[in-house]
C-alpha cells in the first residue's frame, strides 16, 4: 500500500461558524493508494476525538499501525488497490493541523486560549478547502466513526452533491446531555490541574510526565467508550497480584488499566486540543443553521449508510435509528445496521469483523 503524509498550507481565510477567521492555517493529511485518471475513486476518512490523519499502515520504525488499519489497506474493506483514500487531521487537533498550540501569525507565540472555538462544520469546511486544492470535487464515499461519523453526516447535509455514499458509524444527530456530562469531567479535570496554568504552559510541556488532569479526564472518557459487559470480560474482579487487598490504594486490574492508558495518552495529546475538540463534539447539532432536523436531513442526496452498536452508551443506537427512520419516511436512500456488540462505543475501532463485510458490500 502506497502511503504519503503531507501538510497543506492555506493563506486564504477559513471563515468559522462563530464569525471568527482562521488565517493562515494548515492541514496535515495522509493518502493511501493511487488516484485514478478521472478522480472517481476517492474515499475520505474522518477521524474521532483522539485520532489523527494516520488511519492506516505503519511508519518506518513504528510498530503501531494507524487507528483503522484493520479496515483500510490492500484487499481490506476499504481497498487501497481500488480506492484513493484521504484522511485529514482536523483543525484544532495537535497532530499537524493548525490548533491552539500553533503559532498565531504573524507572531511565533502559540494561540493557546486565543484560538477560536471550532465546530464540526468548521472542520469539514477546512477539508473542503483541502479537497479543492487537490483538484478533487467529488467523492465516492465519506466514512467515519464517532466524531468522524459526525463529520460524515455534516458533509451529507452541508454538501449534498459531494459524495455518492456516506457511511457514519457510532455517531448521532446532536450530542445529548449524557455525553456532554462525561466530557465535563475531562474539561474540569484539565482546567483545575495547576500545571495546566490556564493554558499558558509551554509547548510539549507534558511529553515526559503527562498532565494529571488530562489523564483523570480521560478515565471518564474510557468508561463511556466501553460497556459493563466488556469490562467484565476484560478484567473481571481480578486484583493486581502485587497489591494488597487491604491496602487503601491497592488496585483492581481495571484500575491499573485506566491508570496506564490514560497516563500514556496525556503524554502525547495536547490538553488544549482536547478541550477544543470536546467543545466541537458538545456543540454538534445537525439542525443548526437549518429550520429543523427534518429540514437538514431532507437536504441529503447521497446514499446513507448508518451503523450503530447495541452497547454504545455514548451515542445510543436509537440516535442513529432516528436519522434512518426520518430518511425512510422521506423516501431517501438509507440503510441501517445495528451491530450486536458487548464492547461499547469503541466497537467501531475494535470489532471490525462485525461490520467490515457490510462496508465491503457498500463499496462494491
Residue 151: which of 47, 5, 10, 299 has the closest Cα?
47
Question: Which residue out of 53, 222, 305, 345 is catalytically annotated?
Answer: 345
Condensed to tens digits (0 to 9), the pLDDT of residues 174-214 reads 999 999 999 999 999 999 999 999 999 999 999 999 999 99
Task: Tell me if residue 177 falls in helix, strand or coil.
Answer: helix
144-169 confidence digits (pLDDT tens): 999 999 999 999 999 999 999 999 99
Stretch 66-82: mean pLDDT, rounded? 97
The residue among 256, 216, 277, 261 whose CA lies nearest residue 49 is 277
Residues 6+ apart with CB under 8 A from 303: 164, 165, 166, 333, 334, 362
Give the integer Cα–Cα distance in Å for 337 and 251. 39
247 is written with which cell numbers? Answer: 491496602
The answer to whether the CB of 166 falls within 8 A of the CB of 141 is yes
Question: pTM of the prediction?
Answer: 0.97
Q: Band of the pLDDT at 290, cuts 50, 70, 90?
A: very high
pLDDT one-digit tens code per residue, 56-67: 999 888 888 999
Q: What is the pLDDT of residue 63?
A: 82
Which position has the grid cell 480506492?
83
Quick count: other Cβ atoms within 10 Å of Cβ 52? 22
DSSP H helices, 226-316, are 228-235, 253-268, 271-282, 293-298
List CB contacts of 194: < 8 A, sequence separation 6 or more. none
Q: pLDDT-based confidence at 327, cuts 50/70/90?
A: very high
| Percent helix / strand / coil, the chain, rounded to 5 | 35, 20, 45
CA distance 155 to 166: 8
345 is a catalytic site residue: yes
Residue with cell 466541537: 280
Catalytic residue among 122, 193, 312, 346: 312
- pLDDT tier at 342 (50, 70, 90 boundaries)? very high
Average pLDDT over residues 21-26: 97
Q: What is the pLDDT of residue 18?
A: 97
Which of 93, 146, 230, 311 is an active site residue? 146
Q: What is the pLDDT at residue 62?
A: 82
Cell numbers at residue 98, please?
493548525
Which domains can be identified in the chain, with CATH numbers?
Answer: 3-175+285-363 (3.40.50.1820), 179-280 (1.10.1740.110)
Q: Grade residue 47 by pLDDT with cuts at 50, 70 and 90.
A: very high
Q: For the chain, what is the mean pLDDT? A: 97
Q: What is the pLDDT of residue 60?
A: 81
Task: Using alpha carbons, select from 299, 11, 295, 272 the residue that is nearest to residue 118.
Answer: 272
Active site residue 53: no
- The pLDDT, as a whole number, for residue 12 is 94
In this predicted model, what pLDDT tens digit does every residue of 114-147 receive, in sequence order?
A: 999 999 999 999 999 999 999 999 999 999 999 9
Region at 193 (left for phi over 0; alpha for psi -120 to 50; beta for the rest):
beta
353 vs 146: CA distance, rounded Å: 18
Q: 146 catalytic, yes or no?
A: yes
Identify the helix (H) or strand (E) that includes residue 22. strand 21-22
Q: How far apart are CA 192 and CA 184, in angstroms?
A: 12
Q: How much is the pLDDT for 33?
A: 97
Query: What percent of the chain shows pLDDT beyond 70?
Result: 100
Averaged pLDDT, 239-259: 95
Amino acid at each position: 500500500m502506497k502511503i504519503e503524509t503531507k501538510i497543506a498550507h492555506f493563506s486564504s481565510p477559513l471563515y468559522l461558524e462563530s464569525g471568527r477567521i482562521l488565517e493562515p492555517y494548515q492541514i496535515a493529511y495522509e493518502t493511501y493508494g493511487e488516484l485514478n485518471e478521472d478522480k472517481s475513486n476517492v474515499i475520505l476518512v474522518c477521524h474521532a476525538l483522539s485520532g489523527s490523519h494516520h488511519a492506516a499502515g505503519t511508519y518506518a520504525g513504528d510498530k503501531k499501525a494507524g487507528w483503522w488499519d484493520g479496515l483500510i489497506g490492500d484487499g481490506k474493506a476499504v481497498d487501497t488497490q481500488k480506492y484513493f483514500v484521504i484522511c485529514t487531521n482536523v483543525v484544532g487537533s495537535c497532530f499537524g493541523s493548525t490548533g491552539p498550540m500553533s503559532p498565531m501569525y504573524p507572531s511565533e507565540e502559540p494561540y493557546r486560549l486565543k484560538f477560536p472555538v471550532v465546530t464540526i462544520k468548521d472542520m469539514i469546511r477546512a477539508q473542503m478547502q483541502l479537497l479543492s486544492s487537490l483538484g478533487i470535487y467529488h467523492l465516492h464515499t465519506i466514512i467515519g466513526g464517532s466524531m468522524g461519523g459526525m463529520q460524515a453526516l455534516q458533509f451529507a447535509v452541508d454538501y449534498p452533491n459531494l459524495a455518492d455514499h456516506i457511511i457514519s458509524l457510532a455517531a448521532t444527530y446532536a450530542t445529548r446531555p449524557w455525553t456532554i456530562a462525561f466530557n465535563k469531567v475531562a474539561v474540569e479535570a484539565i482546567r483545575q490541574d495547576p500545571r495546566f496554568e490556564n493554558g499558558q504552559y509551554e509547548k510539549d510541556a507534558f511529553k515526559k510526565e503527562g498532565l494529571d488532569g488530562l489523564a483523570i479526564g480521560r478515565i471518564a472518557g474510557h468508561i463511556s467508550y466501553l460497556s459493563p459487559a466488556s469490562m467484565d470480560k476484560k478484567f473481571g474482579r481480578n486484583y493486581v497480584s502485587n497489591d494488597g487487598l487491604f491496602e487503601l490504594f491497592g488496585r483492581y486490574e481495571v484500575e491499573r488499566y485506566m491508570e496506564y492508558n490514560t497516563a500514556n495518552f496525556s503524554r502525547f495529546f495536547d490538553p488544549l486540543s482536547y478541550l477544543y475538540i470536546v467543545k466541537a463534539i458538545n456543540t454538534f447539532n445537525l439542525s443548526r443553521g437549518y429550520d429543523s432536523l427534518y429540514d437538514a436531513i431532507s437536504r441529503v442526496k447521497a446514499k446513507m449508510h448508518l451503523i450503530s452498536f447495541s452497547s454504545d452508551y455514548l451515542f445510543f443506537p436509537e440516535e442513529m435509528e432516528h436519522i434512518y427512520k426520518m430518511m425512510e419516511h422521506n423516501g431517501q436512500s438509507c440503510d441501517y445496521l445495528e451491530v450486536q456488540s458487548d464492547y461499547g462505543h469503541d466497537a467501531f475501532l475494535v470489532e471490525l469483523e462485525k461490520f467490515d463485510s457490510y462496508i465491503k458490500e457498500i463499496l462494491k
